[in-house]
Structures are given as C-alpha cells and as structure tokens.
Amino acid sequence: MNQEILDKAQKWLDSDVDEQSKEEIRSLMSNEEGLTDAFYKDLEFGTGGLRGIMGIGSNRMNRYTVGIATQGLANYLLSCYPGEEIKVAIAHDSRNNSPFFAETTAGVFSANGIKVYLFDGLRPTPELSFAIRHLGCHSGVVLTASHNPKEYNGYKAYWNDGAQLVPPHDKNVINEVNKITDVSEVKFTADNSLIQPIGAEVDEKYLAEIKKLALSPEAVEAQKDIKIVYSPIHGSGVKLVPPALEQYGFTNVYVVEQQAQPDGNFPTVVYPNPEEKEALTIALEEAEKLQADLVMATDPDADRVGIAVRNLDGNLELLNGNQTGSLLIYYILQRWKERDQFQGNEFVVKTIVTTDLIQRIAESYEVDCYSTLTGFKYIASLIAKLEGEKRYLAGGEESYGYMVSDFVRDKDAVASCAMIAEMYAYAKDNGKSLYEMMIEMYQKYGFYKETLISLTKKGKKGAEEIVQMMADFRNTPPKSFAGSDVVRLVDYQAGISKDLLTGAETPLDYDRSNVLQFFTKDGYKVSARPSGTEPKIKFYISVNAPLPSPGQYEATRNQLDEVIAGIRKDLALD
C-alpha cells in the first residue's frame, strides 16, 4: 500500500476520533482500494463547501470532516466580525445523517460562541437562503448532497446575503479550513444556550414572499382545478411545495404517496434527480391513472424541479431544464409587459452552458440578459453587484434550477413549482397547452434544442481521466461538429475567447473556471465542463434552426436530433 495513505490513516488512529471510527479504519487496512479512496486526499472544502461519500476517512463525509469545515468557517466569521454577536442559520434535507451533521455543525458553531438558528426538521435549501436574510444572519449552512446518489452527503456554506460563498470569502474560508490539521482543534462541545430552534414562523414568511410572485391570479382562479401530480422524491419538498401550490389557489394537487415519505435511502429511485427520466417514472404512472395535466418532481433539497406536460398527441412528455427555464422567462416577461410593469432597468440571468434562447427572448422585450459561470452563487453575486441599479426578475440554469425574484439567493424549486403551475394555468386560460406555448416560443425566437452527456468517472483513477480529457480537448481542439466548422473557442480557465478564423484573442471578464466552449459557423455550441459536485465530466450540446410554422415542429425537431447525433459521434464519447 501507498505509505503516505497508511501514514494518514495512522494519524487518524492516533487522534481523538471515537473508538467506533477507529475500528472502521482498522477494518479498511486490509482493503487497499477502500483505504486509498478514504484517505488518498482530504475531502476538499471547495468554493461551495463539502460533498462526498459518507464514511470514515479524510476523503469522506463524517463528524470530523464536517467539524473541521465548521471550525474553519467559525474562525473566519470571528475574524470578520470581532466583538459582534454572530448569527448563523442551519438546515438539512432528508439524506441519511443529515440531521446528525446539522446538529454537529450547530454544536461546533455554538462552542465558538456563535448564535445558531437551527431548523426543527428537514427544510428545502432555498428556505435556508431566505432564513439567513430574514433573520439577519452572518452565514448559514445546509446539509445536503442535492441530487447525488444515496451514499453521498454534503455541506453548503452561505454568506450574509443568502448566497453561497464567492470571492473573497470562499478562498478565505478554504484557507481557514486548511489551517486545521488535527481534529483536536475542533470545538465539538455544544453550548445549547446559543442554539435556537426555528420552524413554522419562518415557513410562513417564506411562503408569503412566494405568494407575492403571482402574476396571473385570475387565470389560476379560472383554472384552479387542473390536475397536478407532485413528487418530492423522498425529500424536503414535501414540506413546502404543496402549501405553496395551495396558497396560489390550486385545488387538485396529488402528492405521489410512494415518494412522499422523506427517506435518505431513496427506495423507489436509482438517483433522486429530477433530471433523470427514471426518477419521475412513478409520478408519470400516477399522472396517467389520474389523467393529470402537469407533473412536477423536486430533488431531495428542493432546489431543482423537473416537469412533464402533455404534448400534441396528448401524451406526457418530459421537458428539459433549458425548455422549462426558457418558458419561465418567456412567461414572466410577457406578463410584465401585459401588466405594464417594466421600468427599463430589469434583467434576467442564465449560465454560460444554458440555452442562448433566453438571450433571444430577453432581447425581444428589451430586457438585459447576463451570462454567468455555472452555479447560482454567480447569479446571486451579480444581483448583489447590480442592487439599487437594476431589478432582477428571474434566472435559470440548464440543470433544472430556477430563481424567480431575489428574496432567495439560490435556485428555488418551491417558488418555481408555484410559478410553473401558474404558467400552465395562464396558457390554458388563453386557449393553449403549455406545450403549444413552447412551440409558439420556438416560432418567435428559433427552435433551440439541447442535450447533456454526463460521463461518470469515480475515485482517484476517474479524477485523473477527467483531467486528461480536458487536457486533450485543450491541446487538440475539434475542427468541426456535424460538418459545421468550429470558428470560436472559449477557454474560461485561460480567460480567453479565440477567433479561429483570424487568430484574434479577446480576454474574458469572468473568474477562472475549467470550462471549454466551441462555437460553429452554424450557431452550434458544445461545452465541456468537469462537475464541481459529482465525479463526472459533462458535455453540453446546443443546436438551433428556424421554425417557420407550428406545423413544421416535428420535422425541425427531427432535423436538430440528427445534428445532435452527428455531434455526439464527433465527440466519440459513446
């Protein structure tokens, strides 16, 4: 075995970790692969916090890695706010060990003299973001691994604006966490007098803000009995999505019983991810039995939502994140125009790997559209930067995350579910289905079609393969995709956009990020990006063509599918 890994495991055995944990380490000593994966590195406190497989070891989510992360964050808060009463909010989802990790986090903060507001049970991630602002907290933490498989958990850290950490705080917290070299430096003994439970009173305030978003109450009243099937996929959405829909006025909401109980084992799905068709199988079956109009499903921490609507043949069809996000922006801007609410300073936001259709829609309403790096912390940072100057309306990313208004500073599936249902009611009240509204949007702005290819590469070997793949794309960039020449290369890590026809290079006004984008002469876009939260490398493909009339929808879709198939072949990933 690697001596460095053995030495690190021995250091844990010689430390203050509990005896049960030491027994688990000893049992790994005869398992080279298991010991290597558990100790080959420290679980990195990245710019968004921690995420990893649960278990013992420096590269695992456990009491000690959570404790070290919290002690580092506490040390930074104490240095930033000397002499102040520092306050933090803590929430957790339905994952195994999430309540334990939340209590551990609360204990360490309180042991450092920090006031803690701890939710009395599972809550959606967006409500944690709301609570930080509502309670005037300096920071916050939610224990969740979002839509990762059941063996994962995570720790997302937030700053006083309700957004995940951005510069300089992200790097400064990372530095403080990295200074802690032994678990003995973590203050684990809680001061319970500093831990205050919170619950229903914050729920009510959060739901009241969501209700203010309503743009079409008359349409909802007229269509209040549309049949909606909702699944929380064993997660925290069950707590607030049904009440949010009820207060909007929807009376026919069916919660999928088999997936209503919070359960960190996610027994009815392979992945609790609404991006995966399999995760919505039971909800779709229920919707067919009920002949429902709309299906919605949220991930365990209720910050992402996937939907299905009936297509032109009357069959339920899943929409992807780009389609739902574009429809939401289209709907919101249309209603703002119809209600004569525009003041000329509004803006929307998308991420660089999200469909450019949103840009086209925004331009038609003379609304600014910004593109940020992947992650809602960048959207939140932009909102903060423009606060007082411009008004944020909505934003989204292709991975099924959307944020309407800015009282939450992270993607919010609770508010999104309410707005999606309202949008459906508005379309129906205007004599069309939501699917027909989508075709109308394509006819106006162009038919944009996207797909995502995710390759999972687990463990140390997988991480090395991902590094090599990105290096290969940088060193030998593709010349064309589906017969369309690549004319521009954007490298967000190098910070340049290069015109491949002239050789001219333009600097990018973005933070550095390991993302490559290739643009072709026909307007196709291919992006390559290693995931920051999963052992995956992702390839985002976007193609488009005019849609002359609704009657040509199927033919145009087939044409774009053929282009995507050609790009997949050129990527040689299958």
Question: Rounded to whole angstroms, what are the CA distances from 311 to 77, 221, 280, 451?
Answer: 51, 24, 17, 19
Phi/psi at 526 (5° precision): -125, 125
Please name which of 102, 100, 84, 83 lies closest in space to residue 92, comparing C-alpha atoms.
102
Q: Which of 146, 236, 381, 484 is catalytic?
A: 146
Let me know: does 95 contact 264? Beta carbons within 8 Å: yes
Query: Which ranges of 81-199 does DSSP label H, i.e. alpha helix?
Result: 98-111, 125-134, 169-179
Q: Which residue has the tokens 């300096």?
A: 138
For residues 80 and 77, give the distance between their C-alpha atoms in angstroms, rounded to a whole number.
5
Question: Rounded to whole angstroms, what are the CA distances from 19 to 133, 185, 249, 291?
Answer: 40, 18, 54, 55
Let me know: does 80 contact 100? Beta carbons within 8 Å: no
Let me know: does 139 contact 132? Beta carbons within 8 Å: yes
Clarify whether 139 is annotated catalytic.
no
3-state secondary structure of 164: strand
Let me know: does 223 contact 216? Beta carbons within 8 Å: no
Radius of gyration of the chain (CA): 24
Which residues are tagged catalytic?
146
